[in-house]
Amino acid sequence: MKNCINIAFVLSFTMSFYCDANQSIPNDFVTINTFIPEALFDIKYHSKDNFVGEVIDGYNADKCILHKAAANALMSAYRQARDAKLNLKIFDCYRPQRAVNHFIRWVNDLNNTATKHNYYPNLAKNSLLGPYIAAKSGHSRGSTLDLTLVKKVNGQWQELDMGSAFDLFDPLSNTENSNISELQRKNRLLLKKIMIEAGFLDYDMEWWHFTLKNQAYPNHYFDFEVL
């Protein structure tokens, strides 16, 4: 690939690819804000409304960017939601490697617990590394996104009750957690059904997290900025 560096990770015996930080968006990536303009966008890492509490490196616009295959699958999910008189609300899509590095710096700073109450009230910060925050993220491959469903209430889009907030690092966010209500479970399973039928795989620890089953770049981690 143009402008990419091939790095062998000896410990994992896998090959990964990081793209030049100055690279523009690849030709086979799509900006979902224009591809599915009817969807709602609340790109959390372009704001301070996230578990770090500040705008994340590489998020210079409130845009959702995905590989075109994931974009087409997401269009299918959108149409399913629309047919059910619902809509998609998207929190995160492609994530630059520099943003992942920002997360790693945050999680390793054990003295910074300013967001603990809202995002990991029942877990020690050092336990987040691995199951919730990793040094390499599937988001950086361009085929993973975080989202929820919304419905119209008095003319305004309102999130369905999923039983926990986006990015709550807690067992309560596990899709099949037994402590949520029947309605909350129904809503989570509806989102899962829509996304799986569109071609995505779910992550059972986070009800909002989905990855395209057939990724275009399963071993690539891009680092171009969201602009």
Helix axes 182-197, 68-83, angle to 10 degrees: 130
Identify any residues that bridge with 19 across adjacent strands, giving them in sequence order: 4
Which one, of 29, 25, 23, lies nearest residue 3 by Cα?
Answer: 23
Catalytic, 206? Answer: yes
Sole residue written with tokens 């062998």 = 8
CB count within 10 Å of CB 44 equals: 19
Q: Which of 38, 54, 197, 206 is catalytic?
A: 206
**Which sign, positive or negative, has the C-alpha torsion 190, 138, 98, 105?**
positive
Which amino acid is residue 31, in one-letter code?
T
Q: For residues 118 and 112, what is the distance between their CA atoms, to the nearest angstrom?
A: 14
Would you please indicate which residues are annotated as catalytic (active-site) residues? 206
